[in-house]
Amino acid sequence: MADAFFRNYLFGTTGFMGRDQKRRNEKSKRGSQPFEPGRSPVSAADSLASLFGQFNWNTRLDEAELFSNWESIVGEQSAQASVPEELNSGLLTIRCRSTAWATQLRLLEGEILPRIQEKYPKLEIAEIRFIGPNAPSWKKGSRSVPGRGPRDTYG
């Protein structure tokens, strides 16, 4: 009782507040009481949706869905011959098994692009680039020298 009287007197005259009193005041400001606003339960789906929106993961999920559902867009035979490789600022790059498949899919681009835009409007794909397989590299090892090098390779 006397201790409480002394603390109140000290605070009233000097404005000094003890460490424990400061902690109690801060805790009362936090609103840690049950049933206060902001303390209601949140479903897992809502919290995941909020998290995806906060970190802008929705477009990455749509991109992954497009890549995994490629067969449903172009058909089974075309999907076996082509793989979506990259999506960068509206340009979708597709790697094809051969240059003949790349040419064939270029001819079908007028049908493929509207399907993708209809199914995945958030991705905002404006163009598709179909490329053939990588050319073989003559570079051997990690210590090759840049430049033309010796010209007597085949003779």
Residue 147 lies in a domain: no
- Domain coverage including residue 68: 58-131
DSSP letters along 80-106, please? HHEEEEEEETTEEEEEESSHHHHHHHH
Residue 105's pLDDT is what? 93
Q: Tell me how crowded residue 130 is: count the other CB atoms within 10 A of its CB.
A: 21
pTM over 0.75: no
* pLDDT surpasses 90 at 100: yes
* pLDDT surpasses 70 at 5: yes
Nearest residue to 133 via CA among 110, 111, 101:
101
Residue 103 lies in a domain: yes
CATH of the domain at 79: 3.30.300.180
Residue 36 lies in a domain: no
**C-beta of residue 127 within 8 angstroms of C-beta of residue 92:** yes
| Total tally of structural domains belonging to the chain | 1
CA 2 from chain center: how many Å? 61
